[in-house]
Chains A and B, each alone.
Chain A
Amino acid sequence: MSISSPHFQFVNEEDLNTCVNCGLCLPHCPTYRVTGEDIYSPRGRINLIRSVKHGDMELTKEVVNSLDTCIQCMGCEPACPSGVQYHNIISPVKTEIHQRRYWRDIPLRFGLYVVSHLPLLRLLTRIISVFQVLKAVPKRLQIPRVPFRRQQLLNYPHLSREKEVILFTGCVMDAWYRNVHEDTITLLNALGYSVVISGDEYGCCGALHEHAGFTKTAEKIQGNIPRSTDNATIIVNSAGCSASLKKTFKDSHEVLDINEFLYRHISDLHKLLIHRKEKVIIQEPCHLRHVQGISLEVTELLGIAFDVVQLDDDGLCCGAGGSFSFSQPEMANAVRGRKIAEITRVIESISPDSVRYVSSANPGCLSFLSSSAINIEIQHPVTLLKQSLR
């Protein structure tokens, strides 16, 4: 009954049909939470995509804005009783929208170019660090304090081939959070594993590009990642990257998020760690909780060394969303504001200053939360666990 439209033809009709308009996704969508407007909800976006695809609605600027403001946190997917595969719907739409407006996305393209070229990323990191000392970096860029010097990673000799793992070092993680890599290696060594550093040839995994809708670039990057002949398990300490690399290496290597890996050794960790009688709040990265379904594992791990305080918000996104905070700063800040308000509410419901740390297992969330006005130490869970070694 509807005329054909030039848009969104790559979206599968069956995926659209699965949505029954019940609205149970609404509170699980961070952008609906902060706006209360249907146009910023998964149900609304699916309705708009369907109408545009069927030619019942023009691709107006409001529709584009609705789709641009989707963080793709996938919080709606586990909440959906109908099992709508929202990522199948939104991904091709994001790709199509970016293809249609090449020039407007230049700053975003530049940023993504930088992260996929390690020497450039390292150079810029140094420049930024100098500017940060001079207090000359505009706040709206939301860049956390970055190091000038690159720490050397400790590299222990191989103990045995049996217990060897590859640590995927990545791009932003490697340039800004090398200390987390160091802590990861220390923990893995403590568990008796020898660690091979993936090194610069495994730079960017393409997750950021894919997430932002630059599918072709992402595919190219993913294609260029060398397939090691070594079949050791690949460990990743960035939730966004572990989600992506699981797909990239699905035929050749076992890829595990560091939390997943440590959870397999939880009984050993009980022996290795001390309980610190400090409270920690866990901010769950969307790519860990919603995409990989890893949630209780982190709670149990940190529970060995800390009193874990749960946020009661169903793992709603913090607003970072890969490059989302860069391309949609207004919405991202609103979403982060809600997350910080929730963190503050939970802390105050116990007692002010009761909670020492917020933990997050993703560099995007770490840096986005750190660059806010929040007055609490934000750390990767690996760092917190390493500090708790006996």
Chain B
Amino acid sequence: MSGAVHINTAELFLAGQDGSNMMGSPLGVCYPTTTAEVQNAVRWARSKGVPFIARGAGTGLAGGAIPEAGSLVICLTKMNKIRSIDANRRSAWVEPGVLNADLSRQTSREGLHFAPDPSSQQSCTIGGNVANNSGGPHCLSEGVTSAHILSLEVVLPSGETCTFDAETSLFDLRGAFIGSEGMFGIATAIEVRLVQNPPHVATMVVGFASVHDGALAVSAIIAHGIIPSALEMMDAPITRAVEEYVHAGFPLDAAATLIVEIDGLEYSVIDGSRQIREIVSLFGATSFQVAETAVERARIWKGRKTAFGAIARIQPNYYLHDTVVPRKKLAEVLSQVTAIATQEQLQVMNVFHAGDGNLHPILMFDKRVAGVMDRVHRAGAEIVRVSLEAGGVLSGEHGIGLEKRDFMRWMFTENDLLFQQKLRSAFDPDGISNPHKVLPRGSGCSDTASIPPGSWI
């Protein structure tokens, strides 16, 4: 069953979609269970001159998992075993289909966890985290996925397998591979670093009378030399939407809510929380609560992490953006985002990793309304523009995929892009591994065919 390529219309239709609003039309989908089967699939694709694309849970939002027309989807969800856990070395070998949250669950008895915690961590796979160099609220202090991967077993686009780690190469091929969105080959086993669960945690929910005040408080906390383990912001509409779903006790009268979490040893947590409390009150906090129990804390995080799904309670469709700006520009860019949405007559909500300056404006709409898609596209492009103007970058953690591919030129020169393409060519000279993502068309890039129909929302 696992060796077979499925070609029925139902499965092809589903393999053509991910968490974005785009759609591709693959040639077949297969579910390998071993590295050798992945190798066979890649070799088969190679021999037929067919592009291939690795797929995890399909929760990506930038269309990185949308298959090129006529390509083979290699779905890795059946490779979901944790091969070994080494509690002494604080590491584990896992297959790419292991779910992010499952790994931390299985290591909780050792007092360890896998630090990257994207909002989709219940569903998303470690393989997908590697492909997108995923972040999450706690990467503010822990670093993104790249900081938590020790080695990778990879099936290269040539069909060969090899291992990337700290010892076997001069160049950091491991680091280069992480975040390559499936364009450098397929990781079939991943050695992850596990970190100790913090002995003390304080999770604070702080309300502000304006988004501006909240944003200034964020900059101030970091500038004060405190690195919280997470520092998140939600604006009033999204706070109301999630409160309805999780009942976490978020302040419904606040224009902006910060979730500030600080963890570690006892005194650093006590001292840190005290300082944070002083700083936020200096910046006009209107409410301040500390979660008393693990259950309360879990509820706050559930609210934060399911926020974007809760949007369907307001509008049937949404477009979740992902850009990064310098922290000091947060307040300014947020007001620009609001102005852009007003200009295009769209509702916008903000729920994001404020400590990293990683914005996630969510444009909400009903795609059945005539002409709305044009307005959404225009607003999306404008948000990218203002973020870059403020000195930011295109993507914090969702990746470039198809969604932001054509914005790459806004951030990089042709020469910058040429060197990214050179790196791709060294891994995949024929451009058959997830072609036509990340790099814009016509940038001296070998991936020149057409984009999948219906791409970009």
Chain A directly contacts chain B within the complex, with at least one CB pair under 8 Å: yes
**Residues of B295-325 whose CB lies within 8 A of A:** 306-313, 316-318
Q: How far is the CA of A51 from the CA of B13 in the complex (A)?
A: 10
CB-based contact B58/A57 at 8 Å: no
CB-based contact A19/B312 at 8 Å: yes
Q: How far is the CA of A267 from the CA of B104 in the complex (A)?
A: 36
Residues of B within 8 A of A57 (CB): 9-10, 13
Q: How far is the CA of A18 from the CA of B313 in the complex (A)?
A: 8
Residue of A25, A36, A312 near B77 (CB, 8 A) is A36
Residues of B within 8 A of A21 (CB): 17-19, 21
CB-based contact A18/B316 at 8 Å: yes
Residue of A36, A44, A58 near B97 (CB, 8 A) is A36
**Interface status of A48 (Cβ within 8 A of chain B):** yes
Residues of A within 8 A of B311 (CB): 20, 82
**Interface status of B164 (Cβ within 8 A of chain A):** no
Question: How many Å from the CB of B3 to the closest CB on chain A?
Answer: 14
- Nearest residue, chain A, Cβ from B101: A27
- Nearest residue, chain B, Cβ from A80: B309
- In the complex where A44-B14, A51-B13, A82-B311 touch, is A24 in contact with B105 (Cβ < 8 A)? no
CB-based contact A39/B10 at 8 Å: yes
Residues of A within 8 A of B308 (CB): 22, 81
Question: How many Å from the CB of A313 to the closest CB on chain B?
Answer: 9
Residues of A within 8 A of B317 (CB): 20
Q: How far is the CA of A17 from the CA of B75 in the complex (A)?
A: 26
**Interface status of A5 (Cβ within 8 A of chain B):** no
Contact with A along B90-133 (1 / 0, CB 8 A): 00000001010110010001000000000010111000000000
Question: How many Å from the CB of B91 to the closest CB on chain A?
Answer: 19
CB-based contact B11/A82 at 8 Å: no
**Interface status of A83 (Cβ within 8 A of chain B):** yes
Contact with B along A61-87 (1 / 0, CB 8 A): 011001000000000000111111000
CB-based contact A47/B14 at 8 Å: yes
**Interface status of A60 (Cβ within 8 A of chain B):** yes
**Interface status of B74 (Cβ within 8 A of chain A):** no
- In the complex where A20-B312, A22-B19, A82-B313 touch, is A39 in contact with B97 (Cβ < 8 A)? no
**Residues of B216-262 whose CB lies within 8 A of A:** 242, 245
Q: How far is the CA of A60 from the CA of B109 in the complex (A)?
A: 46
Residue of A22, A36, A62 near B10 (CB, 8 A) is A62
Question: How many Å from the CB of A307 to the closest CB on chain B?
Answer: 17
**Interface status of A26 (Cβ within 8 A of chain B):** yes
**Interface status of A38 (Cβ within 8 A of chain B):** yes
Residues of B within 8 A of A27 (CB): 99, 101-102, 122-123
Residues of A within 8 A of B97 (CB): 36
Question: How many Å from the CB of A290 to the closest CB on chain B?
Answer: 16
**Interface status of B39 (Cβ within 8 A of chain A):** no
Residues of A within 8 A of B313 (CB): 82-83
Q: How far is the CA of A37 from the CA of B31 in the complex (A)?
A: 8
**Residues of A207-233 whose CB lies within 8 A of B:** none
**Interface status of B433 (Cβ within 8 A of chain A):** no
Contact with B along A112-137 (1 / 0, CB 8 A): 00000000000000000000000000
- Nearest residue, chain B, Cβ from A313: B105
**Interface status of B350 (Cβ within 8 A of chain A):** no
Contact with B along A1-42 (1 / 0, CB 8 A): 000000000000000011111111111100000011111000
CB-based contact A36/B123 at 8 Å: no
Question: How many Å from the CB of B323 to the closest CB on chain A?
Answer: 20
Contact with B along A298-336 (1 / 0, CB 8 A): 000000000000001000000000000000000000000
CB-based contact B123/A26 at 8 Å: yes
For the complex, count residues of A whose C-beta is within 8 A of B: 35
Question: How many Å from the CB of A55 to the closest CB on chain B?
Answer: 13
**Interface status of A152 (Cβ within 8 A of chain B):** no
- Nearest residue, chain B, Cβ from A345: B106
Residues of B within 8 A of A19 (CB): 312
CB-based contact A81/B245 at 8 Å: yes
Residues of A within 8 A of B123 (CB): 23-27
**Interface status of A160 (Cβ within 8 A of chain B):** no
Q: How far is the CA of A222 from the CA of B124 in the complex (A)?
A: 42
**Interface status of B57 (Cβ within 8 A of chain A):** yes
CB-based contact B9/A60 at 8 Å: yes
CB-based contact B10/A60 at 8 Å: yes
**Residues of A77-99 whose CB lies within 8 A of B:** 79-84
CB-based contact A17/B11 at 8 Å: no
Residue of B17, B310, B316 near A81 (CB, 8 A) is B310
CB-based contact A20/B318 at 8 Å: yes
Q: How far is the CA of A25 from the CA of B311 in the complex (A)?
A: 15
Q: How far is the CA of A115 from the CA of B116 in the complex (A)?
A: 51
CB-based contact A37/B57 at 8 Å: no
Q: How far is the CA of A265 from the CA of B122 in the complex (A)?
A: 36
Q: How far is the CA of A110 from the CA of B350 in the complex (A)?
A: 55
Residues of B within 8 A of A35 (CB): 78
Residue of A26, A39, A82 near B312 (CB, 8 A) is A82
Residues of B within 8 A of A351 (CB): none
Question: How many Å from the CB of B110 to the closest CB on chain A?
Answer: 10
Residues of B within 8 A of A81 (CB): 242, 245, 306-310, 312
CB-based contact A22/B309 at 8 Å: yes
Residues of A within 8 A of B13 (CB): 47-48, 51, 57
Residue of A44, A84, A312 near B105 (CB, 8 A) is A312
Question: How many Å from the CB of A216 to the closest CB on chain B?
Answer: 28
- Nearest residue, chain A, Cβ from B102: A27
Residue of A38, A62, A82 near B58 (CB, 8 A) is A38
CB-based contact A22/B14 at 8 Å: no
**Interface status of B59 (Cβ within 8 A of chain A):** yes
**Interface status of B80 (Cβ within 8 A of chain A):** yes
Q: How far is the CA of A367 from the CA of B429 in the complex (A)?
A: 58
Question: How many Å from the CB of B136 to the closest CB on chain A?
Answer: 14
CB-based contact A37/B312 at 8 Å: no
Question: How many Å from the CB of B188 to the closest CB on chain A?
Answer: 15
Residues of A within 8 A of B124 (CB): 23
CB-based contact B8/A22 at 8 Å: no
Q: What would 29 A/B residue contacts be, using CB atoms closer than 8 Å?
A: A19-B312, A20-B312, A20-B316, A21-B19, A23-B18, A23-B58, A23-B59, A24-B306, A25-B123, A28-B122, A35-B78, A36-B97, A37-B31, A38-B14, A39-B10, A39-B14, A47-B17, A48-B10, A60-B8, A62-B8, A63-B10, A79-B122, A81-B245, A81-B312, A82-B311, A82-B312, A82-B313, A83-B310, A83-B312
Q: Closest 9 A-B residue pairs measured CB to CB?
A: A81-B309, A36-B77, A82-B312, A81-B306, A38-B14, A23-B59, A62-B10, A17-B316, A62-B8
9 additional contacts (CB under 8 A) given A22-B59, A23-B19, A38-B75:
A23-B57, A23-B58, A23-B123, A24-B309, A25-B123, A44-B14, A82-B311, A82-B312, A83-B313
Using CB atoms and an 8 Å cutoff, list the residues of chain A in contact with chain B: 17-28, 35-39, 44, 47-48, 51, 57-58, 60, 62-63, 66, 79-84, 312, 349
